[in-house]
Structure 1
Amino acid sequence: MRLVLTSLFSVALGALGTGTADAPPTPPPPLLPYHGSADQMVTVTAPDGASTTATLIAWQRHGSRWVRSLGPFPAFVGAQGIGQASEATSHTPAGVWTLTEAFGIKPTNGTRLPYRQVTNSDWWVSDVKSPFYNTHHSCAPGTCPFDESAGEDLGEAGPVYDHATVIDYNRSPVVPGKGSAFFLHVSSGSPTAGCVSIAAADLDAVMRWLDPADHPVINIGLSPQ
């Protein structure tokens, strides 16, 4: 579910802090103002729109202040950088979206998000002609009610999906062709098809930190110049 945005990256320096009293000042996250109740935010910032690398930081809201909880962690984004996502590109979508569920080939890493352990009968549908487009669907290979070549078999993806968090881009409402299957997942050491990826240990820490009660969101964009 995309949150309502009002203007591009702006935030007061005085509204931010760091996780420890003796830590050096941390640059503010490039917050996109939104109407929502998030008390946790994961920021993913790249130096420019064509960059395939970014920095991920996890922030906790304390009153009017955002305090760094985890990171900075190096991240990979789409092979075409950050921008307008679609089924025809490998952009990572710019914007703010909720983080409401997780999955993985391995058992849960302790995340508090609803977690699904996937097999080769778990798919994320990218068939733009299917009513199941950009949703999870369970079906045995060869029996699915959509074009399986235009879907992603989550259980067959390998270590990158050992654990993952779903980025709620283009989910409410779902617009065919606008892009599907965007996740925060384990890094392969190279740019992605549009997802955000970080090292496995870093991802485990972030996923354990995410708390549904704090309505976490991910904020993806460019570093302030």
Structure 2
Amino acid sequence: MALLTVLSTGGVLACGERAARPAPGLPPAGLPSAGAAEPAAGLTRVAAPGGGPTAPAATAAPAATAAPVASAALPPGIGPTLGAKVPAGTGQLLLAVGAGRESSDSTVVLYQRAGDGSWQEAGRWPAHNALHGWTTDHRAGDLRSPIGVFTLSDAGGRLADPGARLPYHRSPRFVDEERGFNGESLAGVFDYVIAVDYNRVPGTSPLDGQHPEGAARGGGIWLHVDHNGPSHACITLPKGAMRTLLTTLDPARHPVIAMGDQASLAD
């Protein structure tokens, strides 16, 4: 797929409700131009409805597992409320399962629909979500990740395109110079990102700042590289897992993410 490059210099970026602070002279983030990759270092909401603990994410992705899923209708862990919001044409589904409503620990599982209509597990990784857990009514600055089913349309990062199938927007603005809630460094957390289509315009760079439902509803919610601590609202995974997702998620299979705490997902 073609690489979309955002030409810019400087600037500091953070996901969730910490907005990007572009350097003077930066072009609009949502208008990437075509270019070759060089080595260097939200809302179309599908729906929002009404666990066991996991280990903190490591810096390298564990080996992906593959196992058949018994139910052809829905992957395990998704109840009828959220399940009804998964589009019929979806062939790839990420399930981000929080350990509890107030927990920042999660597990992310990738499911792919087989030819017979059943769902098969294609990968499983430890992850983190927002500091204060989950909410069905996400607001800017609440430090909670939104519960719901959302499409996945665009990707990007500071590093060169690893072979992503989703449109990939590369920019040096994918950087965070602050520190995490545990004092950890955030260097490299935006090397790879996938935008969650919560209060954003699909088809634009993850850096795009448009919020169709208004700024009060928050935005800038991504999947990105884990930093061994909770996020503002994003879902964070090991770097190897992000590479796997970038090279696996296929727009032709209409990928979505179902995210929330275990009880809410199963409702």
Alignment correspondent of 1:223: 262
Q: 1:208, 1:194 → 2: CA distance?
A: 24
In the alignment, does 2:217 pair up with 1:178? yes
Give the C-alpha shift of residue 50 in structure 1.
Answer: 0.2
Partner SS state of residue 208, structure 1: helix
Alignment correspondent of 2:8: none
Give the % identical residues: 27
In the alignment, does 2:50 pair up with 1:19? no
When the two structures are superposed, what TM-score results if normalisation uses the length of structure 2? 0.61
In the alignment, does 2:82 pair up with 1:34? no
Alignment correspondent of 1:101: 154
In the alignment, does 2:193 pair up with 1:164? yes
In 1, are the aligned partners of 2:47 and 2:148 still within 8 Å (CA)?
A: no
Q: Name the amino acid aligned to 1:28.
A: P
Residue of structure 1 aligned with 2:98, choices 28, 46, 50? 46
Q: Name the amino acid aligned to 1:34.
A: K
- Could you report, residue by residue, the CA deviation over 1:24-74 in whole angstroms, capped at 9, with x for unpaired residues? 99x813252216221110000112110100010000122432111111x10
Relative to its length, the structure with more strand (as a share) is 1
In the alignment, does 2:229 pair up with 1:190? yes
Q: 1:211, 1:46 → 2: CA distance?
A: 25
Alignment correspondent of 1:2: 45
Give the C-alpha shift of residue 115 in structure 1.
Answer: 0.2
Q: 1:56, 1:88 → 2: CA distance?
A: 24
Give the C-alpha shift of residue 85 in structure 1.
Answer: 1.8
Q: Residues 74-153 of structure 1: matches in 2 within 5 Å?
A: 74-83=126-135, 84-120=137-173
Alignment gaps of 5+ in structure 2: 1-43, 51-64, 178-186, 202-211
Q: How big is the alpha-carbon RMSD for the aligned residues of Structure 1 and Structure 2?
A: 2.5
Alignment correspondent of 1:133: none
Shift in CA distance, 28/45, structure 1 to aligned 2, threshold 3 Å: same
In the alignment, does 2:247 pair up with 1:208? yes
Alignment correspondent of 1:127: none
Give the C-alpha shift of residue 221 in structure 1.
Answer: 1.5
In 1, are the aligned partners of 2:145 and 2:260 still within 8 Å (CA)?
A: no
Give the C-alpha shift of residue 217 in structure 1.
Answer: 0.4
Task: Pick 1 or 2: higher relative contact order, CA cutoff 8 A, min separation 6.
Answer: 2
Q: 2:175, 2:237 → 1: CA distance?
A: 19
Residue of structure 2 aligned with 1:56, choices 103, 108, 115? 108
Alignment correspondent of 2:120: 67
When the two structures are superposed, what TM-score results if normalisation uses the length of structure 1? 0.72
Q: 1:97, 1:20 → 2: CA distance?
A: 24
Q: Which runs of 4+ in 1 moved over 2 A?
A: 18-21, 154-158, 171-176
In 2, are the aligned partners of 1:118 and 1:155 still within 8 Å (CA)?
A: no
In 2, are the aligned partners of 1:165 and 1:184 still within 8 Å (CA)?
A: yes
Shift in CA distance, 193/4, structure 1 to aligned 2, threshold 3 Å: closer
